[in-house]
Amino acid sequence: MNRDQFFFHDLSHFPIVTAKHGSAPAGYSASWIREMEMLVDNPQTFVMVVPDMRTEASHDDRKAMIDWQTTNMPRLKARCRAFIAVERDAGALDKIRKRGEKMARAFGMPFLAVATPHEAVQCARELLGQAGPGGFAVD
C-alpha cells in the first residue's frame, strides 16, 4: 500500500491506522471510501484508532460512510481487528464505551474506547498480537 495515497488515514504506524477526519471538508466521504477500499483490499489486518470522536461530518458524508460500512462489514471484519476511540473526558468516555458495546453486538467486531492515545496503541498492539498482556479484555 502506498501511504501517500491516504489523506484521511495515517498509516505511519501500520497496521495501526489512525483516522484523520478533523476539519475534513464537506464531500470527503468519497475519498474516505476509496481509502477504506484500499485498506480492506490489503491482505494485512489492522486496527483503526479514532483519536477525536467529537469531529462532526456532514449529514451526507456520515450517511455515505455508514452505508459503505454496512455494505462492506464482512470485508471490514476480515481485515479490521477493532475500532478504538480515544476520549479523555470521563463522562463522554463512558457513553462511548456503552455505545461501543452495542455496536460490537450489532456488527460482531470490537468497538472499544480508551482515555489516551497511549492506551489506544497498547490495546491495538495486543489485538494485533504485538505486545504482552496489558489488561485489555476483548470478548
- pLDDT tens-digit profile of 36-59? 999 999 999 999 999 987 777 889
Report in angstroms the alpha-carbon separations of 11 from 7, 8, 35, 133: 9, 10, 11, 24
CATH class of 3-127: alpha beta
- pLDDT tens-digit profile of 54-104? 777 889 998 999 999 999 999 999 999 999 999 999 999 999 999 999 999
Encode burial over 43-57: b for 16+ CB neighbours within 10 A, e otherwise: eeebbbbbbebeeeb
Please state the domain extents for the chain.
3-127
Q: What is d(CA 46, CA 128) in angstroms, rounded to the nearest whole number?
A: 7
pLDDT for residue 25 = 82
Residue 115: DSSP 8-state: S
